Amino acid sequence: MNMIQAINDAHKVMMRRDPDIVVYGEDVGFFGGVFRATEGLQKEFGKQRCFDAPISEGGIVGTAVGMAAYGLKPVIEIQFADYIYPGYDQIVSEVAKMRYRTAGEWSMPMVIRSPYGGGIFGGQTHSQSPESLFTHIAGLKVVVPSTPYDAKGLLIAAIEDPDPVIFFEPKRIYNGPFDGHHDRPVTPWARHKASEVPEGHYTVPLGKAEIVREGEEVTILAYGTMVHVALAAVEDNKIDAEVIDLRTLVPLDIETIEKSVQKTGRCLIAQEAPRTSGFASELATLVQERCFYNLEAPVGRVTGWDTPYPHAYEWTYFPGPKRMKTALQKVMAD
């Protein structure tokens, strides 16, 4: 399966198991979503459980709050992460704080799915990575898968989770892994082992990172598309790096990170999002606080620039192989 098929399958598995799951968003009903993630759901489960929504992110999230309060389990889609902001008040002020402000009287078991990330010539409003605007909000869990296998397992885990989960899907790798080499043809998921997606129900637990490449010389922390960029950069530069796919940003798998950095003594963090106040900054601080005496070099960050995402300058902005190489060399030389 590719990542879209895996996400679609996760919906089907869960909707068959739990009649309280409802799926809606812009174009997700009859049409099956602009990325096909919800294809076939309305046909199988009917219009009461999968339907099109008006173009109103605030309305989509706001009504989902009411549905969750009633006892349903909304799995809603925001068409692009760049368009999640009109729903931000509902997410931050209502969804995130509900369990806390009512001391558990009401909770918000919902999943907010949204395609995110760049590398697709999406320009300013089809490329953003706003994860740090959500990792900063107490009460939300934030998940970013990087393979079809994880996407299905994490989405099922997110749907089953009692807390609200923001599920960011790196749309650049919906059809195949992308390592940043935009000048080379992209291989489809079929040739990747993580495209083997089991049928039926399985989960990838939230809050658990995965070491996708073991190594001794440096720890690379990445998530989403940047996992594949990091892996390629490690091979290109012949560095024995340990690459960790965080998978869940909140709650973070700090143990796996600590253990790795204590072993390697060096750490590089890769994210697509702009640098200032990005999630990499939180990771760098945590590593510095917890592994200071193991560190042999300053913690490095490979990020997007502190600019809006430009169209024509896609490959100037995207943190690809060149930026990875420079950063790797620096963290190894320091």
Partner 1 sequence: MADKQPSRRNAPALALHVPEPPFRPGDTPDFSSIKVPPAGSAPRPDTAVAARETHPLATDLVRVLDEDAKAVGPWDPKLDADTLRKILKDMVTVRVFDDRMYRAQRQGKTSFYMKCTGEEAIATSAAAALDFEDIHFPTYRQQGILVSRGYPLVKMMCQIYSNPGDHMKGRQLPIMYSDKKHGFFTISGNLGTQYPQAVGWAMASAIKGDSRIAMGWVGDGATAEGDFHSAMTFAAVYNAPVILATVNNQWAISSFSGIAGGERATFAQRGIGYGIATLRVDGNDALAVYAAVRWAAERARSNKGPTMIEFFTYRAEGHSTSDDPTGYRAAGEAQSWPLGDPIERLKAHLIGIGEWDEERHSEITKNADAEVRAAQKEAEKLGILPEQGKSDIGSVFEDVYADMPWHIAEQRDQALEEQR
Binding site for partner 1 (CB under 8 A): 22, 48-49, 53-54, 56, 58-59, 62-67, 69-72, 86, 89-90, 93-94, 98-107, 138-139, 141, 162-163, 207, 250-252, 254
State which residue, 236 or 282, has the beta carbon closest to partner 1.
Answer: 282
Integer Cα distance of 320 and 208 in angstroms: 26
d(CA 142, CA 138): 11
Q: Which helix (H) or strand (E) holds 167?
A: strand 165-170
Active-site hit among 11, 126, 182, 192: 126
Q: Which is nearer to partner 1, 165 or 302 (CB)?
A: 165
Provide the token pair at 319: 């943190």
Q: At what angle do helices 225-236 and 321-333 cross, to 10 degrees?
A: 60
Nearer CB in complex with partner 1: 4/68: 68
DSSP 324: H
What amino acid is encoded at 71 in this protein?
G
Quick one: 1 or 98, whose CB is closer to partner 1? 98
Return the structure tokens found at 68. 């969750």
Token duo for residue 37: 């993630």
Looking at the Cβ atoms of 67 and 234, the one nearer to partner 1 is 67
Determine the 3-state secondary structure of 24 from DSSP: strand
228: annotated active-site residue: no
Closest distance to partner 1 from the beta carbon of 207 (Å): 7
Q: Which is nearer to partner 1, 61 or 229 (by Cβ)?
A: 61
Query: Could you tell me the smallest distance in angstroms from the CB atom of residue 65 to partner 1?
Result: 5
Min separation Cβ 64 and partner 1, Å: 6
In the complex, the smallest distance separating the C-beta of residue 73 from partner 1, rounded to whole angstroms, is 10
Inter-residue contact 221 to 268 (CB < 8 Å): yes
Q: How far is the CB of 284 from partner 1 (least distance, A)?
A: 15
Collapse the DSSP code of 253 into the 3-class scheme (helix H, G, I; strand E, B; otherwise coil) and give the result: coil
Instruction: Name the β-bridge partners of 218.
Output: 241
Q: Where are the alpha helices (DSSP H) in 2-147?
A: 3-17, 41-45, 57-70, 88-89, 98-101, 132-135
C-alpha separations of 94 from 87, 90, 97, 137, 253 in Å: 10, 5, 5, 11, 26
Tokens (6 digits) for 30 = 């009859």
- Show which residues are catalytic: 126
